[in-house]
A and B are shown apart, each in its own frame.
Chain A
Amino acid sequence: MARVREAALGLALVAPPIAILLLLIILPAIQALTFSLGLVPSENVTFSSGQHLVRSDIPTLEVYRQLLASPFVIDDLRLTLSVTVLSVIFVAIVGYILALYVRFGNGWLPRIVRSLYLIPMFVPVVIASYAAVTFYVDRGFLASLFWHLGLGYTSPAYKPAGIVITQVWYNIPFAVLMLGSGLDGIEQELIDSAHDVGAGFFSVLWRIILPLNLVPLLIVLTFTFIGVIGSFTIPFLIGPNAPQMIGVAIQAYFSNYNQPQPAVAMAVIVFAIAALAGVLYVWATSRSNRHAVTL
């Protein structure tokens, strides 16, 4: 009886946020999915008045077939995936170096870094992108600095490199916080005893720190991946016009081309890829939490 009451109370308390999630994410997502399968809702004028509609009474993959047959869309997808993968790799590397430096460094320099790396977390993403554009653009601030140093300058702005640079900038705080908290959990005695048997810094890193800190790393990889692959603002402001990242393409199909159906189909594709990364997160965390003391 007590168990039933506990379950009822528990469910009642989690109901409000779940209801909002259901109403504003899950149901619209289902509607987007069915619409992308050719089931056009007649009562939704934005959907039913779109150009290039595929209408069907039974679910069909025609929209996806047409999308994937378009060389432009393929280019957009390719750019999205490569920018995402590169951003994730760089965030992981830079984040790890910083987390190690903050954890194991001594003196005033690491103390400065401890405040410095948090800054991007508190800069709205619109501003981060705008700052990056004004800084990296041709004949901008960085170009001027290069000119005074007598160096040639090729601007990364409006190129895929610009997106990666800004994404890494924006994602550093989360990565370092996550990895740093994992590193704090590694016992100092373990590292000391490895040193005592003669292991150098790099073998301690490779043999002890990396394996013990694998789950935080996986979390950083998945969340950065999910964040970058569906991003809009950064690629919109600093990315190239063509090919563009899917987030920007979705927006263009919606508002510029009035083609909501391919737009939602692209959103479904991005979600499917992001969900794969989500599965990795769930797998990694549930594995590690099963070994930990359950609360």
Chain B
Amino acid sequence: MTANRMPTPVAEREQELAGWTPAGIRLTWFWDVPEFRRALGLLLVLALSAYLLLPLLTLLLWAFADEWRYPSVIPQHFSLKWWDWVFTNGDVGSAARYSFETAPVVTLISAAICLPAAYSFSRFRFPGRRALFISLLAANAFPKIGLYVAIATLFFRLDLMGTFWGVVLIQLVGTLVLMVWIPAAGFDAVARELEEAARDAGAGPLRVFWSITLPLAMPAIIVACFLAFLAAFDEAQGTLIVGSPTIVTMPVLMYTLVVNYPEPVGAIFSILLSAPSIVLLLLARRFLLAGYLAAGFKGR
């Protein structure tokens, strides 16, 4: 890192590559000055904070604004009257109810059918294993909107249009990749020695699974459940086509609110809609950073 090391032949060649100017000043000279490096870090953090947070702050301010005209950086008048409107609006209440009914049910069903599959992909050899594993990606690669008419036809035939279970099924599709790939990597990471040791000590296969494999894979499963919940909670396009007009979830209602109502309504609704996600962020942060998500997408 420091500039005062002995220059070696390797270092000289590297410096050439790192871009010496003809005047003999390295283009990356600023990196060797700790103060510059620290200032650069601070600038990066400030720019990133502004980029990531200011749009959200805008919504937060709008949620409590009655009037906010250019070029004031804060609203001219604050008011809670739109909160009253939102909370007394029947559509909002029923949308919240549907969202909080569908997303958990989708997550549970997804876990029930995908976790055994994830275990199978991780442990068993069978024909087409790799192809089937990768084919799950198709659920995310085909533009959903291009499929919804064909899906709607199918759902009409099965009498699922406008029903709770129709919405659950359409939201389930988007969770498959997450719920198979991430837990499969979690099962991969469980050391076989531990399982074998338990088996040597006389534990049966089910006992080994419940007391060794599953607990050790649990963080990956938790990450998958969080992300599946968010994917289901966030789904709007399919839910709109399959669910409406009976089942309108919060993201679907959001499209209408954004277009037809003044800013505070959309802003308040955004806060309500983000609240559960933020709680999940606080809960899942540790597991996300531990690399379980990344492991799931590393392929096999």
A126-B251, A237-B258 in contact; A285/B300 too (CB < 8 A)?
A: yes
Cβ–Cβ < 8 Å partners of B234 in chain A: 124-126
Q: Are A10 and B129 in contact, CB atoms less than 8 angstroms apart? A: yes
A109-B41, A127-B59, A286-B299 in contact; A118/B149 too (CB < 8 A)?
A: no
A240 contacts B by Cβ under 8 Å: no
A126-B236, A148-B71, A282-B134 in contact; A14/B150 too (CB < 8 A)?
A: no
A159 contacts B by Cβ under 8 Å: no
B119 contacts A by Cβ under 8 Å: yes
Of the candidates B48, B119, B176, the one whose C-beta lies within 8 Å of that of A116 is B48
Q: How far is the CA of A130 from the CA of B59 in the complex (A)?
A: 8
A82 contacts B by Cβ under 8 Å: no
A119 contacts B by Cβ under 8 Å: yes
Cβ–Cβ < 8 Å partners of B15 in chain A: 200, 203
A11 contacts B by Cβ under 8 Å: yes
Contact flags A1-22 to B (C-beta < 8 A → 1, else 0) = 0010011111101111110110
Which positions 47-61 of chain B face chain A at CB distance < 8 Å?
Answer: 48-49, 51-59, 61
Q: How far is the CA of A147 from the CA of B69 in the complex (A)?
A: 13
A115-B285, A123-B277, A140-B58 in contact; A198/B11 too (CB < 8 A)?
A: yes
B206 contacts A by Cβ under 8 Å: no
Q: Are A198 and B58 in contact, CB atoms less than 8 angstroms apart? A: no
- Which of B90-98, B209-217, B263-271 participates in binding chain A? B263-271
A234 contacts B by Cβ under 8 Å: no
Q: Are B236 and A233 in contact, CB atoms less than 8 angstroms apart? A: yes
Q: How far is the CA of A6 from the CA of B121 in the complex (A)?
A: 11
Q: Are A200 and B14 in contact, CB atoms less than 8 angstroms apart? A: yes
Contact flags A67-78 to B (C-beta < 8 A → 1, else 0) = 000000000000
Q: Are A202 and B31 in contact, CB atoms less than 8 angstroms apart? A: yes
B12 to chain A, nearest CB (A): 8
Of the candidates B45, B120, B152, B278, the one whose C-beta lies within 8 Å of that of A10 is B120
Q: Are B58 and A141 in contact, CB atoms less than 8 angstroms apart? A: yes
Contact flags B250-280 to A (C-beta < 8 A → 1, else 0) = 0100110010000100110010011001101
A18-B132, A198-B7, A198-B10 in contact; A7/B127 too (CB < 8 A)?
A: yes
Cβ–Cβ < 8 Å partners of B266 in chain A: 130, 134
B4 to chain A, nearest CB (A): 11
B204 to chain A, nearest CB (A): 16
Q: How far is the CA of A201 from the CA of B139 in the complex (A)?
A: 41
Q: How far is the CA of A28 from the CA of B55 in the complex (A)?
A: 37
Which positions 154-169 of chain A face chain B at CB distance < 8 Å?
Answer: 169
Q: Are B176 and A17 in contact, CB atoms less than 8 angstroms apart? A: yes
Cβ–Cβ < 8 Å partners of A270 in chain B: 142-143, 146
Q: Are B10 and A199 in contact, CB atoms less than 8 angstroms apart? A: yes
Which positions 248-287 of chain A face chain B at CB distance < 8 Å?
Answer: 250-251, 254, 260, 263-264, 266-268, 270-271, 274-275, 278, 281-282, 284-286
B18 contacts A by Cβ under 8 Å: yes
Q: Are A112 and B270 in contact, CB atoms less than 8 angstroms apart? A: no
B138 to chain A, nearest CB (A): 6
A31 contacts B by Cβ under 8 Å: yes
Q: How far is the CA of A67 from the CA of B55 in the complex (A)?
A: 37
A37 to chain B, nearest CB (A): 14
Contact flags B88-128 to A (C-beta < 8 A → 1, else 0) = 00000000000000000000000001101101111111110
Q: Are B52 and A25 in contact, CB atoms less than 8 angstroms apart? A: no
A190 contacts B by Cβ under 8 Å: no
Q: How far is the CA of A188 from the CA of B298 in the complex (A)?
A: 21
B137 to chain A, nearest CB (A): 6
Q: Are B136 and A17 in contact, CB atoms less than 8 angstroms apart? A: yes
Cβ–Cβ < 8 Å partners of A9 in chain B: 120, 124
Q: How far is the CA of A51 from the CA of B130 in the complex (A)?
A: 42
Chain A, Cβ-Cβ closest to B17: A203
Cβ–Cβ < 8 Å partners of A227 in chain B: 140
Q: Are B55 and A131 in contact, CB atoms less than 8 angstroms apart? A: yes
Which positions 122-155 of chain A face chain B at CB distance < 8 Å?
Answer: 122-128, 130-132, 134-136, 139-145, 147-148
Residues of A within 8 A of B (CB): 3, 6-11, 13-18, 20-21, 23-29, 31-32, 44, 46-47, 97-98, 101, 105, 109-110, 112-128, 130-132, 134-136, 139-145, 147-148, 169, 172, 174, 177-178, 180-182, 184, 195, 197-203, 206-207, 215-216, 219, 223, 226-227, 230, 232-233, 237, 246-247, 250-251, 254, 260, 263-264, 266-268, 270-271, 274-275, 278, 281-282, 284-286, 288-289, 295
Nearest 6 A/B pairs, CB to CB: A267-B146, A285-B299, A198-B11, A10-B124, A181-B294, A28-B150
19 A-B pairs (CB sep. < 8 Å): A6-B124, A13-B117, A14-B120, A16-B114, A17-B114, A17-B179, A21-B173, A24-B147, A113-B48, A116-B48, A120-B52, A124-B273, A126-B255, A130-B270, A134-B58, A197-B11, A246-B143, A263-B146, A285-B300
